[in-house]
Amino acid sequence: MKNTLLALLAAALLMLPAISKASGNESGDTVVIELNNKSKIMIYTEDRVALKDLEQYDLNKMITDLNQALKSKKIQKIEMEDANGKKYLKDTTIVFGEGKAKSKIRIGNLELLVDTDDWDDLEDEFDDDLPVKKYEFEEEPEKRTSHYFNVDVGLNNWMEDGVFPDAEGKSYGVKPWGSWYLGLNSVNRTWISGPLFLDWGLGVNWYNWKLQDADYQVVEGDERIEFVEPVDVDIEGIKSRLQATYANVTLVPMLDFAKGRRKVKNLERGSVNFRTYKKQGIRFGVGGYAGYRLGSNSKYVYKEDGDRQKDKDKGSFYLTNLRYGVRVQVGYKGLDLFAMYDLNDTFTSNRGPEGSNGLNAITFGITL
């Protein structure tokens, strides 16, 4: 019924100029649209200019708000106020048939909505030759705080006195490609004012530092972390890395010049909708993070007498339990990039690699 009402309402808007002209009333126009024996819509305007102004209002949103107000079983007087003249201004494409799906599956920027309780009916729909409807619209944020999950994928390295150790041939130099960073994050975005938002949340992050020279093995020594070469000349290193897992808290103020609006593309077939969401405009933010180490291990893969071997050890490796630093986020439309820099040393005081002046972890990558 709601779909029919909206469609007729839209058709009525297109017919309004012709109807008002036929009425011949220059001082005021009244249009009565009879939908059925139970529903009528009456539109009154002072003149044709006011009638033309109706085109800029989002009647779809008006009806949605009216339905929300009518959910109460009590008889009440309902006043739909719009003091600033903006609440119902039409700045998005009206989508007919929009409603709350009974089943949703959301992965990143993809969403599948199924509006049925009976999966047999859904199976019947696939047997029928139903048309596929395509449309897109711009979605406005409805809540002051929204929640979502994202995935950070990037590369890790260390910095020592502003340079990368591998540039100077250090034994603890990191090979960027293969030193993967993975973060699974639960993020809240709170609107503050204007384009200012606050991204905050929790996450679990995995750091991998893959050594540039695979002949060196990461070892937890008696007093410090050590990067040692095998004594046996018959051993050929294939891969050597140090891995650490942290639980992180992030807090990043963001300037989102699109103010949280997203472009939505929808494919509809019967009761099934498939949507893709894409952010709009430019976003930029600088904030901080803090993390606590959950675990760490080393892995050394090598060949000995032609056989592939693997040594994997667990331990602290003198990594700091608490880490903190600066996080930068930059986004444009559907692309989001991030960078993180630890302000504290990766290893506890005087426990880092021999000869180092302190190593600060640095990570950069893309947010999915």
Q: For residue 288, which of 342, 335, 229 has the smallest C-alpha distance?
A: 342
**In whole angstroms, how far apart are CA 136 and each of 8, 194, 213, 265, 349?**
21, 25, 51, 4, 56
Rounded-to-integer distance, Cα 359 and Cα 352, Å:
8
- Residues 293, 342: contact at Cβ < 8 Å? no
Q: For residue 173, which of 215, 234, 207, 121 has the smallest C-alpha distance?
A: 215
The answer, as to whether pTM is greater than 0.85, is no
The one-digit pLDDT tens for each residue of the chain (368 residues) are 444 444 444 444 444 444 444 444 444 566 666 655 556 666 766 666 666 766 666 666 666 666 655 554 443 444 444 444 445 454 433 333 344 555 556 555 666 666 655 555 555 555 566 677 776 766 666 568 888 889 999 999 999 888 888 877 788 888 888 899 999 999 998 988 888 999 999 999 999 999 988 888 888 888 888 888 876 767 878 888 999 999 999 999 999 887 666 677 777 766 677 777 666 678 999 999 999 999 999 998 888 877 888 888 898 999 999 999 999 999 888 789 999 999 999 998 888 887 788 899 999 999 98
What the block records as the tokens of 156 is: 């890790």
- Residues 57, 89: contact at Cβ < 8 Å? yes
Q: Give 3-state DSSP helix, strand, coil % of the chain, rounded to 5.
A: 15, 50, 35
Rounded-to-integer distance, Cα 324 and Cα 251, Å:
11
